[in-house]
């Protein structure tokens, strides 16, 4: 997944992110604004997991989104 594309479509993707990581608040999602590193940090903080685990979860989520948002 192209994260420039994610940033551009963040308003549409916020719902998908919230489905996956329900502990993230709307304020978190507004702060993240489609930035992968920000998303990883908020997941790590909210779920008390390592950075590596947060990155793995994002990678898994990305693979599941390819049906909706194919790579450029």
The pTM is what? Answer: 0.86
Q: What is the CATH number of the domain that holds 49?
A: 1.10.1470.10
Which residues span the domain enclosing 14?
A: 3-65
Domain membership of residue 51 (yes or no) is yes
Q: Are 34 and 69 in contact (CB under 8 A)?
A: no
Confidence at residue 67, expressed as pLDDT on a 0 to 100 scale? 64
Domain assignment of residue 70, yes or no: no
Residue 13, CB-side half-sphere exposure with 13 Å CA sphere = 25
DSSP symbol at 69: S
Report the number of distinct structural domains present in the chain: 1
Q: Is residue 71 part of a domain?
A: no
Average the pLDDT over 11-39 and give the result: 95
Characterize 53-67 residue by residue with b for buried, 16 or more Cβ atoms within 10 angstroms of its Cβ, and e for exposed.
ebbebbeebbeebee
Whether the pLDDT of residue 43 is over 90: the answer is yes
The verdict on residue 28 lying in a domain is yes
């Amino acid at each position: 997944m192209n994260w420039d594309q994610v940033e551009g479509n963040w308003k549409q993707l916020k719902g998908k992110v919230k489905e996956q990581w329900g502990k993230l608040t709307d304020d978190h999602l507004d702060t993240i604004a489609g930035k992968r590193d920000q998303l990883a940090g908020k997941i790590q903080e909210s779920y008390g997991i390592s950075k590596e685990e947060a990155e793995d979860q994002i990678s898994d989520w990305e693979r599941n989104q390819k049906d909706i948002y194919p790579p450029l």
